[in-house]
Amino acid sequence: MPKLQAPVLKNEYYEVTFEDLTHEGAGVAKVEGFPIFVENALPDERGKIKVIKVKKGFAFGRLIELYETSKNRIEAPCPIYSQCGGCQLQHFSYEGQLNFKKKQVEQVLARIGKLDLNNVKVHPTLGMNDPWNYRNKAQVPIGEREGGLVAGFYQKRSHDIIDMERCLIQQAENDDVVQAVKKICEQYGIRAYNEEKHKGWLRHIMVRYGLVTKEMMVVFVTKTNDFQHKHEIISQITELFPQVKSIVQNINNKRTNVIFGDETKVLWGEEYIYDKIGDVKFAISARSFYQVNPEQTKVLYDKALEYAGLTGEESVIDAYCGIGTISLFLAQKAKKVFGVEVVPEAIEDAKRNAELNGITNAEFAVGEAEAVIPEWNKQGNKADVIVVDPPRKGCDETLLKTILDMKPHRVVYVSCNPGTLARDLNVLEQGGYETIEVQPVDMFPHTTHVECVAHLSLV
């Protein structure tokens, strides 16, 4: 593509109409076809912008004034929305967000996946009835201000911690526990970790909440493995919050942005809390991956199960299975499920979760999906249905080739990144599969993330 000579200049003002939103939630306006990205602007709005940075094929601008506002613009309910950065779409009506997510999926499937939208049905995004207080996990950095502790979030583009009593997308119980733990620690003179000096003790507080069981876990992430006033602090927490079933310490002595260190010890109560998705019960430890929006996870997995079309006779592979969440969901309707996952601890959890539910027709293997599944293929261990749920980078090419060679009747692709989903669907389509439908599911309301499940069938 020929490089566009920028028709706009830095520090100049322009009057523009916004046409679209980027995947990051910024408004897109065009001046002589040249795209300018502007935060806090919505499609169909008109306004004045100042160009703040000009790059080769695009520019960034700042919104100065809106002349016409979108019918989808609303007042962001959160008072710290503009400082935080955790949400990007609170100024957009929920209906507008759901439509935007569907359109984004369609655009990417057509542009990257080269799919014909006349043949592939992209359903309206499945949203939440009440799209607030949905996160079951709070991970809060701790800092100090005038001798006291602050527990909140990093200000946008900085590492200054801003205190936050309420996060509107967080389970209120999690916020209550974080605030109480902060105050209790303050009473005992606990010092927060200071990133620059690499001194102090308390780095993060993490709280997890089981939506169905109401059980809670509190994790202290600390620089060193000591714990002053441990007994007093624990007894205050457990007295105030009887639903706390587990208190854990994780030690992270490194100069790093990574939250957790390698050492984890139970300070009080259980090593796990439990939660349920549908009829399946899961043990969740401090370090296990567990979906953060359990209500929508059920919606997503129900769709995956529907697309898998199981009658009880099928052999199913669940690639990238994590702690076996999808595998155990499928096992209730399949003859046999084989889960594969690269993190050994996750597979330990998956086996424990199978046992916990008395599920005996699920087997789990540790390894890369692209190494283990070709091996199964060679041994003649074929599957009728393959479910994949890869990380953001999508499926490995070897895995896609193996799927084409194994020829399962159906492939169910669960994806947290429409771009790599589209790329991989293109490969599967060229190899003889047809994408029948794609269902976007809103797992993360008020953020730009969108989760999809795609249903493919062998032609």
H or E element at residue 34: strand 34-38
Return the residue of 325, 357, 402, 439 that touches ligand SAH, per CB under 6 A.
325
Q: Is 389 in the site for ligand SAH (CB under 6 A)?
A: yes
Return the residue of 43, 322, 408, 440 that touches ligand SAH, per CB under 6 A.
322
**In the bound complex, what is the minimum distance in angstroms from residue 342's beta carbon to ligand SAH?**
4
Q: Is 289 in the site for ligand SAH (CB under 6 A)?
A: yes
Q: Is 317 in the site for ligand SAH (CB under 6 A)?
A: no
Q: Which is nearer to ligand SAH, 111 or 392 (CB)?
A: 392
Amino acid making up residue 377: N
- Residue 155 annotated as binding site: no
- Sheet arrangement for strand 410-415: 121-122, 433-441, 451-458, 410-415, 385-388, 315-319, 336-341, 362-366
Q: Is 280 in the site for ligand SAH (CB under 6 A)?
A: no
- Of 40-48, 187-195, 340-348, 356-364, which segment contacts ligand SAH by CB under 6 A? 340-348
Task: Tell me which residue has its CB nearest to ligand SAH.
Answer: 322
Tokens (6 digits) for 177: 């526990």
**In the bound complex, what is the minimum distance in angstroms from residue 215's beta carbon to ligand SAH?**
19
**In the bound complex, what is the minimum distance in angstroms from residue 345's beta carbon to ligand SAH?**
10
- Residue 341 annotated as binding site: yes
**In the bound complex, what is the minimum distance in angstroms from residue 23's beta carbon to ligand SAH?**
20
- Of 2-10, 103-111, 137-145, 386-394, which segment contacts ligand SAH by CB under 6 A? 386-394
- What residues between 349 and 368 interact with ligand SAH by CB under 6 A? 368
- Of 30-38, 109-117, 266-274, 339-347, which segment contacts ligand SAH by CB under 6 A? 339-347
Q: Which is nearer to ligand SAH, 194 or 398 (CB)?
A: 398
- CA nearest 209: which of 180, 233, 241, 253? 241
Tokens (6 digits) for 321: 């299975």
Catalytic residue selected from 87, 395, 416, 452: 416
Tokens (6 digits) for 109: 């499937």
**452 flagged as catalytic:** no
Q: Is 337 in the site for ligand SAH (CB under 6 A)?
A: no
Q: Which is nearer to ligand SAH, 47 or 322 (CB)?
A: 322
Distance from the Cα of residue 339 to its chain's centroid: 21
Return the residue of 81, 94, 282, 320 that touches ligand SAH, per CB under 6 A.
320
- CA nearest 337: which of 357, 256, 67? 357
Alpha-carbon distance 42 to 46, whole Å?
Answer: 9
**In the bound complex, what is the minimum distance in angstroms from residue 157's beta carbon to ligand SAH?**
28
Alpha-carbon distance 278 to 108, whole Å?
Answer: 32
Q: Is 391 in the site for ligand SAH (CB under 6 A)?
A: yes
Amino acid making up residue 239: E
Q: Is 330 in the site for ligand SAH (CB under 6 A)?
A: no
Q: Which is nearer to ligand SAH, 155 or 381 (CB)?
A: 381
Tokens (6 digits) for 140: 């809060």
- Of 1-9, 304-312, 337-345, 352-360, which segment contacts ligand SAH by CB under 6 A? 337-345
Alpha-carbon distance 441 to 418, whole Å?
Answer: 12
Q: Is 376 in the site for ligand SAH (CB under 6 A)?
A: no
Alpha-carbon distance 244 to 434, whole Å?
Answer: 48
Return the residue of 142, 321, 328, 406 that touches ligand SAH, per CB under 6 A.
321
**In the bound complex, what is the minimum distance in angstroms from residue 125's beta carbon to ligand SAH?**
19
- CA nearest 379: which of 365, 393, 359, 395? 365
Alpha-carbon distance 157 to 154, whole Å?
Answer: 8
Q: Is 413 in the site for ligand SAH (CB under 6 A)?
A: no
SS3 readout for 188-234: CCCCECECCCCECCEEEEEEEECCCCCCEEEEEEECCCCCCCHHHHH
Distance from the Cα of residue 2 to its chain's centroid: 36
CA distances from residue 81 to 72, 85, 103, 169, 284 in whole angstroms, order as listed: 17, 7, 25, 11, 30
Residues recognised as catalytic:
416
Instruction: Give residues in contact with ligand SAH (CB under 6 A).
Output: 289, 291, 320-322, 325-326, 340-343, 346, 368-370, 389-391, 396
Q: Which segments are annotated as binding site for S-adenosyl-L-methionine? A: 291, 320, 341, 389
